[in-house]
Amino acid sequence: MFRCGIDYKRFRFIMPLLLLFAIIFDLIAIGARSGWVEDENAASHYASMWRECRGRNNIWECKSLMDYSWAQGVAALMIIGLLILIVAFIISIAGMCNPASVPFLSVAILLFIVAIIQIIALIIYPVNFNEKIYEGQYNYTWAYGFGWGATIICLGCSFIFCCLIRYIDDINGSEKIKYIYPPPKH
């Protein structure tokens, strides 16, 4: 795949591992209770994908963000992206076991769709949060960063799966050996 000595046959083993990391990152981002956003001093206001909490001195009043249509859309997009990512992971695991049966292009397309869906969700959230709930300076936390991490992994893996299509015969072991002969003398 690369002329600098990286063996592309190993990618069939590395790619499912990367997709597993993306699934874990998505699960962390979706299930984080501590929040995607917190106010500047992290003492009076924070919001996750599901709810926002306000309070002082460890007395918090929380309400669901699912009353807002933009929050429902973000949750739906992130969950749909996670489900498609799990399907792509299962297909890539099948490819690790039997590389002849893997449709690399379909995995690449699924991962690209996941990346697009999650990019949309991860842009909708801060834009609408700032318009509807913004009350000062906020910081986006590690949970929101895990969402972006999963999205970047999906986008990168989609490009690598597209590149693997070119080397499918060699990965399967069915590539014909190319001998280099000198040109015949006339």
Higher pLDDT pick, 185 / 3: 185
Global pTM reads 0.80
Higher pLDDT pick, 109 / 56: 109
Three-state SS string across the chain, please?
CCCCCCCHHHHHHHHHHHHHHHHHHHHHHHHCCCCCEEECCCCCEEECCCEEEEEECCEEEEEEHHHCHHHHHHHHHHHHHHHHHHHHHHHHHHHHHCHHHCCHHHHHHHHHHHHHHHHHHHHHHHHHHHHHCCCCCEEECHHHHHHHHHHHHHHHHHHHHHHHHHHHHHHHCCCCCCCCCCCCCC
CA atoms of 105 and 164, how far apart (whole Å) = 9
Joined tokens for residue 47: 């919001």
For residue 181, the one-letter residue type is Y
pLDDT at 8 over 70: no
182's CB contacts (< 8 A; 6+ apart) are: none
Q: What is the mean pLDDT of residues 154-172?
A: 74
pLDDT at 9 over 70: no
Mean pLDDT estimate for the chain: 80
Indicate if the alpha-carbon torsion angle 32, 36, 41, 45 is positive or negative: negative
**φ and ψ of 133, to 5 deg:** -120, -10
pLDDT in tens, 102-159: 677 888 899 999 999 999 999 998 888 777 766 667 778 888 899 999 999 999 989 8
What pLDDT does 112 receive?
95
The confidence band for 4, taking pLDDT boundaries of 50, 70 and 90, is: very low
Higher pLDDT pick, 47 / 136: 47
Q: For the chain, what's the residue count? A: 186
Joined tokens for residue 57: 């001195």
